[in-house]
Amino acid sequence: MLRFAHPQVLWLLLLVAGLGYLHFSGRLRPYATLRFSSLSVARRANVSRRLPLRHLPAVLRLVVLALLVMGLARPQSGRREMEITSEGIDIILALDISGSMKAEDFKPQNRLHVAKGVAEDFVRGRRGDRIGLVVFASTSFTQCPLTLDYDVVLSQLNHVDFGAIDDGTAIGTAIANGVNRLRRSDTMSKVMILLTDGRNNAGKIDPLTAAALAEAESVKVYTIGVGTEKDAPFPVDDPVFGRRYVRIPASVDDKTLREIADKTGGEYFRATTPEMLETVFEKIDELEKTEIQTTEYVDYEELQARFALPAVLLLVFEVLLSRLWLRRLP
C-alpha cells in the first residue's frame, strides 16, 4: 500500500499545472531580443526538424517539479500484518440426505439443493471459526472434519448428494456423531446446526438421548425443519413413462426438534420457503457471531529517493538538451 506522510504538500501540484498552462498558452514565452529589418530571409529558410521538440525542455522542467513535490510529500510503502488474538467457534453442519429431501416444494430446486446453497453462503460468511460437515439418512458419517479451510468445506459440501447412505432419518445418530466431533474441542462455544425434513425413524440412538449427550458436552444445537406444511411434489422416475410427480405429506417432527434445541440451549426454526431458510441461517449467523480482536502492524518504507533521483536525472538531461541540441538565440 502507498501513502503520503504529508499529503497536504500535494496541493503544490496545482501550481505546477498552472505553470504548464501559462507556458503552453504563450504567456510565459520570452519576447525577442534581436531586431531584424526584414523577416523575408527567415521565412524562406527550411524549418528545422528540431522545431516540434521546442517544448520538450519545458515539459521536462514541469515533470521535475512534480516529482520534487511528490518527494516532499514523503511517499511511503507499507506492509500490513494482522494478528488474530481471539478464539473462534466450532460449528458442525448436519444435513439430512434422506430420499424425502428430493421433494421440490422449494421450487425450482429440491430441498437438499437449496439447503446446500444456503449452507455455502453461511460458510463463506464465517471468519476464524472451524467448520465441519456431517450427513445422515439411515445412519450418519462425517463428510468433512472440523477445519479452518473453508475451500475444503465448500468442496465437500458440493459433493453431498443422495444415495451415499441407505434411506431413513437417523436424527439421534447424526447428533451423536456431531457431538463426537465437537467433544475434544477446547473452544468457548461449540455449535451444531441440524437440518432435516422428517422425523427420527432409523438408528439406535433416540434424538432426546443424543440431545442429553450434547448438553453434557456443552454443545448448543440449532434445529431447522424444512419443507412446506402441506403436501409437497415428489419426483418419481418411471422407466416407461418417465418422470412424474406424486404428493407426499409433511413429516417434520416439530415437537422433537424443538425439545432438542431447548435442551441444549439452541433454537428451533421452521423454514417453509427458500427465503425463510436463508433468514434462519442469517439469524444463526448473528446469534453465533465470532468477536475477533485483532492487532494490526504496519511497516512503512520511505520512498522519497524513488522520486528525487529521477527528478535530478531529468533536470540534468533538460540542461544538456537546452544548452546543446535545442539551443535558442538570445
Question: Is 43 within the bounds of a domain?
Answer: no
Note the pLDDT tens digit of each residue in 60-91: 777 888 888 888 887 877 666 555 555 679 99
pLDDT at 121: 95
Tell me: do 255 and 106 sit in the same domain.
Answer: yes
Residues of the domain holding 6: 2-33+49-80+297-325
Please tell me the distance from the alpha carbon of residue 223 to that of residue 174, in angstroms, as a whole number: 12
Within this chain, do residues 273 and 313 fall inside the same structural domain, yes or no?
A: no
Number of domains in the chain: 2
Mean pLDDT, residues 300-304 taken together: 73
- 274 lies in some domain: yes
Q: Identify which of 60, 101, 67 has the alpha carbon closest to the alpha carbon of residue 325.
A: 60
d(CA 233, CA 246): 6
Both 251 and 311 in one domain: the answer is no
Tell me what the mean pLDDT of segment 88-113 comes to.
93
Residues 124, 212: one domain?
A: yes
Instruction: Report the candidate in 141, 249, 138, 250 with the shortest Cα–Cα distance to residue 200.
Output: 138
Q: Are residues 176 and 103 in the same domain?
A: yes
Q: Which residue has the higher pLDDT, 40 or 308?
A: 308
**Together in a domain, 269 and 163:** yes
User: Environment class of residue 24 by beta-carbon count within 10 Å: exposed (0-12), middle (13-18) or buried (19+)?
Assistant: middle
Single-letter amino acid, residue 91: I
The answer on 70 and 97 residing in a single domain is: no
- Judgement on whether residues 67 and 148 belong to the same structural domain of the protein: no
Residue 76 lies in a domain: yes
67 with 98, same domain: the answer is: no
pTM of the model: 0.64
Domain match, 158 and 19 both:
no
* 159 touches 178 (CB < 8 A): no
Same domain, 261 and 305: no
In a domain, 313, yes or no: yes
**One domain for residues 136 and 188:** yes
The mean pLDDT value for 138-158 works out to: 95
Instruction: Kindly report the CATH number assigned to the domain that includes residue 101.
Output: 3.40.50.410
